[in-house]
Amino acid sequence: MRKVDLTGNIYGRLTVITDDGSRTKTGRVLWLCECSCGNKVHVQSQNLKDGRTKSCGCLNDEKKRERFKDLSGTETDNFKIVDRAYSKNQRVYWNCICKHCGNHIELQSNQIERYSSCGCKRNRSSKERMAEISDPESLKTSRPTAKSTTGVRGVYYNKRKKRYVAYINVDKKPKYLGSSVDLKEAADIRRKAEIEYGYK
């Protein structure tokens, strides 16, 4: 079969430069292409024509970055997003602090927008919630919550970084205190902050 010259053709972000003699193991032509980002790559004719290859790979990288937007340090009405926890089945989980009770919880990106709390709002009456909101001192406690995974209030384990992270609520907002590979050390960081901020 006569080879169709693709030189000069543009496919997505790729411009075909030339056939420099590169071939697949089965003898198919691998066209030398230049991506709009400046990288050069060899691509089979059919992959170019079918639209299966549209860039050197930078397009996929950009799409991944858009899909896994970094939420670290941001917050919603209900959660403070501390940092990325881990990825599983192409889903990103984030270490979050519930603004209503100060509890740590791991949430997916879409759950951060959907959930109104870590679950504490479902477990308490409206009267109790309103009392806590009107009284900031109610958040000032060193007692661990029922959902605490470490047994120390204000300390959670970051699976991705493999460190214990300490935080404390100041003016109803979570404040990062520090982290350690040792739970006891992270707990000490938290306890010192409790004394400083007048926790019970």
- Max mean pLDDT range (12-26, 105-119, 183-197): 12-26
Nearest CA among 85, 123, 122 for reference residue 104? 85
Give the pLDDT score at 2.
64
Q: What pLDDT does residue 18 have?
A: 96
Give per-residue pLDDT as tens, 92-135.
899 999 988 888 899 998 899 899 898 887 765 444 444 443 44
CA-CA distance, 63 to 66, in Å (whole number)?
A: 5
pLDDT number for residue 151: 84
In degrees to the nearest 10, what's the CA dihedral of 192, 193, 198, 200?
-70
Determine the pLDDT at residue 11: 96
Q: Which two tokens stand for residue 1?
A: 């079969």
**How much of the chain, in percent, has pLDDT values that exceed 90?**
41
Structure tokens of 88? 């599983």
CB under 8 Å to 77, separation ≥6 — which residues?
99
